[in-house]
Structures are given as C-alpha cells and as structure tokens.
Amino acid sequence: MLTPRDNERITRVGRGTAMGELMRRYWMPAALSTELAVDGAPLRVKLLGEKLVAFRDSAGRVGVLDEFCAHRCASLFLGRNEDNGLRCVYHGWKYDVEGRLIDQPTEPPGKEFKDRIRLTAYPTIERGGVVWAYMGPAGRMPPPPDFSWAVVPESHRFVEKSWQECNWLQALEGGVDSAHVGWLHRTMGSLTSDPGVGGIWSQPRTTADEVEETDYGHLYASTRHLADGRKWVRIYHFIMPFHVQFALELGHGESGWTTQERYIPQASGNMWVPMDDENCMFYTWTAKYGVEPLTAAERECRARIGGRGPGEQLANYRKRRNKDVDWMIDRAKQRTATFSGVDGIATQDHAVQESMGPIVDRSREHLGATDRAVVVMRRIMLDAMNTIEQGGDPPGVGNSYYDVFARERILPGDADWRTELRPRCFRKAAE
C-alpha cells in the first residue's frame, strides 16, 4: 500500500506536481498520425492537464500548441488550417506549428505586435504511427522514441487508442499485473480441457513473478506451470513512465490460442498517457519483427482486443461499453461464456480499473506476492520523482530501451529462465 501523501504525489500530473514534472521528461504520445491530415481539421489533445490543439500544416509538419488564441482566448479547435498555419476564426490571428503569431490582420499597418506573441508549443516527432510531443525543459530532451515496435515497417505494426476514464497509474498497474489474466480474462467452457497454454484462460493458476530493475524501468518473468510438468514463462518490460511490453510469440489472442510450439516473433504493448488526474488515453500496439507482415485477421483481432471493433467507440475515442452503462456487463454470459461478463479484453481491464473510482486510495490495499511487479514499479516512480526534484535524470530517458523485446517460451520444468530466455530479450532483430 501507499501512504496518502505518496498516493497523492504519484498520481497527480499537473504542471508543478512531482509526477507532472517527471512525466515532462519523456516523449508523450499526443495523437495517432492518421488523425492529422495536411491542412486538415485540428484535433483537441489533452496531456498532463493541459488543453492543447494539434494540426498538420501545408508542409506536413505537426504542431501541438495551446488550444486558446492569445487574443481573446477562443479555441483554435475551431480554427482554419490553411497556408502553413492555424487561423483563429474569431479575428483571424494565425499561428505556425511553433506557436508563433504570423498574421495579425485586425491591427492597423504599423501597429502590429505579432513578434511579441507566441503560444506555448511543444516539439513533436512521429514514430510508429504516433505523434509524440516533448513537454519538458529544452536542454533535457531525450533521444527519439525509437521503441523496437515503432521502427518496424507500417505493414508489420498496428496501433490504436481509446479513452480510459480513471487515473493513469491504476491503469498502468493493471498492465504490470500478470496474475489477473487467468481470472478477469478467463474464458468459460470449451477451453477447460486444453492441456497447453490455452488452458490458462480457463484454469487460473498460481503465478511466480520475479522482478529485475533495469536502467529503463524493470523486467519481470511470470511463470505458470502447465499440466504436463513444463512451465510457460513470459517476460514483460515496464519502460518508464507508462509503457508495458509483453510477448505474443505463441499467437494467443481473442481469436484463439495457438498451443503448438511455433514461436512467431511478435509482441504487443500498451501506453497509458495521462490526459489529466482522472483520465488517460490508452494506446495499444502490436508488432511483428520477422519477415511476415501482420495479416488483416490479426489486425482485426487486435482492434477487437483494444476496444476498437466495429461500433465499439463513441466520439473522442470513448468506449461504448463505459462506466455510465456499467460496461454493458452481461450476467448470462458471466455464467457461461466469460468470467467477467464484459466483452473485450481491454474493456475488461478498463472496467475493473475504472470501477475503483477516478483515483484509487492505495492506503486501503492489502498486497500479496503476485503484486511484486506493481510494488517495484511504484518505488521506481517515487525514487524518480525525488531524482527530478534534486536536479537529476530519471531512468528511461536514454536509449537503452531501443533493443528491448518481450519474449515467452514453454520451458522444461527445471529450466532457468534467466539462462534460457532472458538473453533473447535484448537482441536487435528477431531470431
């Protein structure tokens, strides 16, 4: 558990807060690249409590800047994206992607003062189909976010997002909690006799999680023992400040499990990006690292898992299965089909995390052995905030995560995962 003081420090992300200043030291996903067309409609973006607007200008450059015009504070979301700038519809003031006022048509000739006006604007970069913004000190900008998944060809990558209505930390904690898989995501019925890894979805098993701290966050091995005496080991990576990577090498997913031991070099992961203290944007990605691109069926499966299936989202990426309708829990399905009664793996996660309230009171918790990865992650965060306050650099702002890969294998019962599997997690290319 955390004390009320530490819980406050680790969850609040506004400017001037300890966690907010820590977050500003990393590249922040601001939008999907596909959301911004050249001279297209501006996009509202909320990051770390700041209301921003994003647009792609006539030259293809992306700007992420203060939503409100410096003149009379009208929203630039209403603006006209034209001729390499965003023009406010109220009085025609126009800004470039760096926030500079480049036209001030309401002022008489010789009376303009546009050179003195500049909106807050953040540097941007595009990687992996995502527009990233850097909101921190200019002299501390980290290297580009060249995650292993972000540098594969577009044909080998899938990225989607949805709005999650709770604090980013309780969502992230679900991402580093492997024990919940056999319960929350459990499938009832036909898989109960599956002797392979598919049975994990229908037969909850005790997990043994071992955590190692790294210079980017931590990795942990989650081990589940199978009925035939072997063990299934998955290595997860937590990368500061809100990234989790996990393996999909056995081809498991909502469309079924591949229990044959054919390992496909692919992984998936999530990012829980704080919009404000009580909301986050959930990004989910899948990447193949070999020759084969992602198939249409695999993309459809990942969209469904991420809550982006047909008709699954309302405006602004809000889920149709949201807290206002109790996540559309189906009590009949809960008895016969899925353990939770909620459709969709991501929506199941969101439902339990949102059910805790906007910001959970961690002083009421009673943690156990399977919460080790959560406990270590929290301590890394608290230590990193202290480091920032003392003027230092937190973990994960370098490029050590560039070669990180999530892996899984079915190993003999007496095998040591550190010898058999861990070395595979830091190779530049898949086997």
pLDDT digits (tens, 9 = 90+) for 47-87: 999 999 999 999 999 999 999 999 999 999 999 999 999 99
As for how many domains the chain has, the answer is 2
pLDDT at 180: 86
Q: Who wins on pLDDT, 175 or 261?
A: 175
CA 183 – CA 202 distance, rounded (Å):
8
With cut-offs at 50, 70 and 90, classify the pLDDT of residue 193: very low
- pLDDT at position 260 is 52
Is 105 part of a structural domain of the chain? yes
Distance of CA 210 to the CA centre of its chain: 23
Is-contact 384 20, C-beta < 8 A?
Answer: no
Lowest mean pLDDT among 138-142, 303-307, 369-373: 303-307
What pLDDT is stored for residue 305 in this prediction? 77
Check whether residue 322 and residue 194 sit in a common domain.
yes
Please report which residue ranges of 142-248 form alpha helices under DSSP H. 168-175, 181-184
Torsion of CA 178, 184, 186, 189, to 10 degrees: 160
State residue 195's pLDDT score.
Answer: 44
- What confidence tier does 37 reach under pLDDT thresholds 50, 70, 90? very high
Q: Is residue 8 part of a domain?
A: no
- Domain-ending residue, one of 106, 140, 174: 140
Instruction: Label residue 60 left, alpha or beta by phi (over 0 means left) and psi (-120 to 50 means alpha).
Output: left
CA gap 347, 165 in Å, rounded = 11
Judgement on whether residues 295 and 179 belong to the same structural domain of the protein: yes
Clarify whether residues 306 and 178 are in a common domain.
Answer: yes
Q: Determine the pLDDT at residue 200.
A: 58
Specify whether 386 is located in the same domain as 422. yes
Total residues belonging to the chain? 431
Provide the CB-side half-sphere exposure for 338 (13 A, CA): 15
The DSSP call for residue 315 is G
User: Rg of the chain's alpha carbons, rounded to an integer?
Assistant: 23
Question: Which residue, of 108, 140, 172, is where some domain finishes?
Answer: 140
Q: Is 321 a residue whose pLDDT tops 80?
A: yes
Mean pLDDT of 20-41: 98
304 and 376 assigned to the same domain: yes
| Average pLDDT score, the chain | 90
Q: What is the pLDDT of residues 240-258, one digit of tens each?
A: 999 999 988 886 544 444 4
> What is the average per-residue pLDDT within 326-349?
91
Residue 335 is assigned to a structural domain of this protein: yes
Q: Return the closest-CA partner of residue 266 out of 300, 284, 238, 290.
A: 290
Domain housing 128: 27-140
Q: Are 18 and 385 in contact (CB under 8 A)?
A: yes
Whether the pLDDT of residue 226 is over 60: the answer is yes
